[in-house]
Amino acid sequence: MSTDHKRIGVNLGSLSLIFFLVGGVFALLMRAQLATPNSDVVSDNTYSELFTMHGSTMVYLFVTPIAIAMATYLVPLQIGASSISLPRVSLAGFWVWLSGGLIMQSGWLTAGGPGRDGWFSYVPLSTSPYTPGPGQSLWVVGVLLAVTGSMLMGAAVLVTILGRRAPGMAVLRMPVFTWTALVTVLMVVAAFPVLLVAMGLLLIQRLTGADIFSGFTGAIDYQDLFWFYGHPVVYVMFFPFLGAAAEAIATCAHRRWFGYHAFVISMMAFVTLSMSVWSHHMYITGGVTNQYFAFTSTLLVVPAGIEYFDMMGTLIGGRLVMRTSMLFALFFFVQFLIGGLSGIFVASPVLDYAANDTYFVIAHFHYTLFAGSIFGFFAGVYHWFPKVTGALLRERLGRWQLWVMVVGANLTFFPMFLVGADGMPRRIARYPQHPSWITDNDLSTAGAGLIAIGVLIFLVNLWVSLRNRVEAGDDPWEGQTLEWATTSPPPPLNFERPLPPIRSFAPLLDLREAERERDPAGPTPEAPR
Amino acid sequence: MSDFPPSAALVSTRAEYGHLFSIYVPIAAGVFVVVVLVVIGAILRYRGAGAPSRRSNATWLEGSYALLLACVVAFLLWETFSAEHQVDTVANRERPSLTINVTAARWEWTFGYVGDGITARSGRTGHQPLVVPADRAIRFNLASLDVIHAIWVPQLEFKRDLIPGHTGHVTLTFTRTGSFGGQCAVFCGEYHSEMTFTVRVLPPGKFATWLAAHRATGRAAPARTGAA
Amino acid sequence: MRGGAWPLVIFGSLLVVFGVGNRIWTEDAIQSATYAFAAAASYLTAAGLSFAGRGEPARRGAPPPVEVTRTIPAASAGAVTLAIGAGALGLGFVFGKFLVFGGGGLLALGCVLLMRELHAQRRATVGGGPG
Report residues of chain C scoring pLDDT below 70: 1-3, 53-71, 125-131
Dihedral (Cα; A428, A434, A439, A443), 10-degree rounding: -10
- Cis preceding-peptide flag for A303 (omega within 30 of 0): no
Residues 6+ apart with CB under 8 A from A457: A397, A400, A401, A404
pTM: 0.93
CA C28 from chain centre, in angstroms, equals: 31
Chains in contact with chain A (at least 3 beta-carbon pairs closer than 8 A)? B, C
> Are the Cβ atoms of C83 and A95 closer than 8 angstroms?
yes
Query: In chain C, what is the greatest distance between 2 CA atoms, to the nearest angstrom?
Result: 64
Query: Which residues of A, range 106-125, sit inside 8 Å of C by Cβ?
Result: 106
Q: What is the value of ipTM here, to two decimals?
A: 0.93
Q: Distance from first CA to last CA of chain B, Å, rounded?
A: 24
Chains in contact with chain C (at least 3 beta-carbon pairs closer than 8 A)? A
Q: Which one of A159, A162, A278 would you mutate to disrupt binding with C, by most C Cβ within 10 Å of its Cβ?
A: A162
CB contact C91 to A (< 8 Å): yes
CA distances to A248, A274, A327, A378, A401 from A333, rounded to whole Å, are 12, 19, 10, 13, 17
- Do B and C touch, counting CB pairs below 8 Å (3 needed)? no
In A377-394, which positions are buried (b, 16+ CB within 10 angstroms) versus exposed (e)? bbbbbbbbbbbbbbbbbb
- Measured in degrees and rounded to the nearest 5, phi and psi for residue B138 equal -120, 130
A155-183: average pLDDT: 93
Classify burial at C47, counting beta carbons within 10 Å of its beta carbon; exposed 0-12, middle 13-18, buried 19 or more: middle
pLDDT of residue A235: 95
- Tens-digit pLDDT profile for residues A444-488: 999 999 999 999 999 999 999 999 999 999 999 999 999 999 999
| Closest CB from A117, A261, A354 relative to B57 | A261
Q: Would the pLDDT of B5 be above 80?
A: no
Element (H, E) at B200: strand B196-202
Element (H, E) at A470: none
CB contact A81 to C (< 8 Å): yes
Q: Which of A462, A240, A175 is nearest to A373 (CA)?
A: A240
Residues of A in contact with C26 (CB under 8 A): 288-289, 292
**Mean pLDDT of the residues in chain A:** 94
CB contact C88 to A (< 8 Å): yes
Residues of C in contact with A296 (CB under 8 A): 18
Grade residue B51 by pLDDT with cuts at 50, 70 and 90: confident
pLDDT of residue C74: 78
- Tens-digit pLDDT profile for residues B81-105: 999 999 999 999 999 999 999 999 9
- Tens-digit pLDDT profile for residues B120-139: 999 998 899 999 999 999 99
Residues 6+ apart with CB under 8 A from A216: A287, B163, B164, B165, B166
| Closest CB from B35, B154, B165 relative to A308 | B35
- Tens-digit pLDDT profile for residues A319-352: 999 999 999 999 999 999 999 999 999 999 999 9
> Are the Cβ atoms of A357 and B47 closer than 8 angstroms?
no
Residues of A in contact with B84 (CB under 8 A): 290-291, 294, 348-350
- Do A and C touch, counting CB pairs below 8 Å (3 needed)? yes
CB contact B73 to A (< 8 Å): yes
Count other Cβ atoms within 10 Å, centred on residue A511: 15
CB contact A297 to C (< 8 Å): no
Contact predicate A223/A217, CB 8 Å? no
- Measured in degrees and rounded to the nearest 5, phi and psi for residue A132 equal -75, 170
| Helix, strand and coil in chain B, % to nearest 5 | 40, 30, 30
Q: How far apart are CA B94 and CA B77, in angstroms?
A: 25
A310-A311-A315 Cα angle (round to 5)? 110
For residue C106, the one-letter residue type is L
CB contact A271 to C (< 8 Å): yes
Grade residue B221 by pLDDT with cuts at 50, 70 and 90: low
Q: Would the pLDDT of A525 be above 60?
A: no
Q: How many CB pairs under 8 A join A and C?
A: 196
- Tens-digit pLDDT profile for residues A215-274: 999 999 999 999 999 999 999 999 999 999 999 999 999 999 999 999 999 999 999 999
Q: How far apart are CA A480 and CA A257, in angstroms?
A: 10
Of all residues in chain A, the one with the smallest CA distance to C48 is A159
Q: How far apart are CA B62 and CA A160, in angstroms?
A: 31
pLDDT of residue C124: 72
Count other Cβ atoms within 10 Å, centred on residue A522: 10
CB contact C1 to A (< 8 Å): no
**In sequence order, what are the beta bridge partners of B149?**
B162
CA A90 from chain centre, in angstroms, equals: 19
Q: How far apart are CA A376 and CA B118, in angstroms?
A: 57
Q: Would the pLDDT of A150 be above 90?
A: yes
Residues of A in contact with C73 (CB under 8 A): 3, 87-88
Q: Rg of chain A's alpha carbons, rounded to an integer?
A: 23
| Closest CB from A302, A319, A344 relative to B50 | A319
How many Cα atoms occupy the beta-carbon half-sphere of B16 within 13 Å? 30
Element (H, E) at A8: helix A5-34
